[in-house]
Each structure stands twice: as structure tokens, then as C-alpha cells.
Amino acid sequence: MTALPPDLGSALRALAGRRPLLVSSDYDGVLARLRDDPSDAVPEAGVAQVLARLAAVDGVTVALVSGRGVADLQSTSGLSGPFRWVGSHGAEFDGPLTGELAGRRDDLAERLAPLVAGTEGARLEVKPASVAVHVRQVADRVAAASLLADARSRADSSLTLKPGKDVLELAVTDADKGSALRRLADELGAVATLYLGDDLTDEDAFRALGADDVTVKIGDGETAARHRVPDTAGAVALLEFLADLLA
């Protein structure tokens, strides 16, 4: 098992004694490796088992908080269990978007489609609450940066920009992972929350949580999280360590 930093181990030991406890995580880049094709992002070995162990503990709720739509997250991950599912960066919390917002999303996709089609390797993804421009597979990195800049320039004030790793997401709501996580924690009456994330949109969650919570950045980069592990293997090891403590 990947060794955890001593300060993180101490924080998890303190967390394990608190109830109700919310154990929450992003999916892509945390529980699954980032893939060129997002549909290939299957969970890392051991993820399904450790999430099931955590969810089986009395007073513990496991939540998956993703930029993906909930249906896409459930289908791609193949995960099932008594989990809470928060999709579209928090926009999918109590159900799908209304028809009006879906219409705005579709109009946005129509406007961006010709722009994306003009850059080889770029991909347009239509999500329940947003449209995402992906450039991970664009070989010409200057063209990739130019495409993201062009997409950004076409956003009006009604849209919320969510930049990420080789992607710009344009959302038709102002929901974010931080507000969604606080809402869920309040609903559960959670006295402490663990959150794992790897991308820029996870910083909203890191900043939203308090001093008694444990926030963990997966991978490199500047972050508001208090702790860090290097990769998805470290994320799985962290969850297994916590599951052992709770057992």
C-alpha cells in the first residue's frame, strides 16, 4: 500500500472518530485515471470495494461529486451502492435541469460546434448542465490554447466558466462543487467531511470546507487543500487506510 504523509495519517485518525461523517470524492483523476476518451475512465483497482466498505459503516455517507452528469458517472464508473451522487459540478443535486436551462445548453452547443470542428483532435461534450471543449487530444498545443481562448471569448455573462486540465466547461448555472458539498453536509448533519479532488473545479470544494474537515489534492499543482497525495494509487490507499480505521 502507498505510504501516506504522517500529517495526513494523523488527520484521518482524528476524522475517523467523528459522526455523522461525509466521505466524498471527485471521480476522474482521483478514483479513475484521466483518459483521452472519458468513456474509458474505469475505476482503479480496489475502488468499488473500499467505497462499499466505507458506506457500510454506521454514520458514514459516501458521495461522488463530479463534473460529469450523474447518468454518465454511474454508467462509466459502473459503481453502485448506497452512495450520494452529485453531478454537473453540483447542478445535478436533486434531479435533472429544467427545460429552460437545457435549452440554453443546447443553444450554446450549437454555437460552439463549428469552432471545435475547426481544430483537429478537439471534442465538444454536451453535459446535463454545461458544454465542455476538450483539447487533450489536440497535437498542436498552440491551436489547443487558441481554441480554449476563443471558446472563452464567446461566453456571455449568463455562463459560468469552469477551466480544467485541457478543457473549458461553460455551464448554464452557477453551481459549484463547494456549494453542493456544503449543502449535502448540512442535509446530513455531518460534523466532518473528507474531500478528495485533483482539478481546478475541486478548489471550490477545498475552499468551502472548514478547519475540522480534511481536504486532499491528488497530484501536482497549487491548491487550497491541506493535504496531498501524488496519484490515484495514493487516493485509493488513503480510502483504504480510513476504511481500516473505521472498521
Looking at the annotation, which residues are catalytic?
A: 26
> For the chain, where are the E strands, in sequence order?
21-25, 60-65, 84-86, 123-126, 130-134, 160-164, 167-171, 192-197, 214-218, 227-229
d(CA 198, CA 25): 10
Q: Would you say 134 and 123 are in contact if contact means Cβ atoms under 8 Å apart?
A: yes
Neighbours of 170 (CB within 10 A): 23
Cell of 207: 475552499
Report the distance separating Cα 239 and Cα 102, nearest Å. Answer: 36
Rounded to 5°, the CA angle 84-166-126 comes to: 55
Sheet of 123-126: strands edge to edge?
A: 123-126, 130-134, 167-171, 160-164
Cβ neighbourhood burial of 200 (10 Å; 0-12, 13-18, 19+): middle
The candidate with the shortest Cα–Cα distance to 196, out of 78, 31, 43, is 31
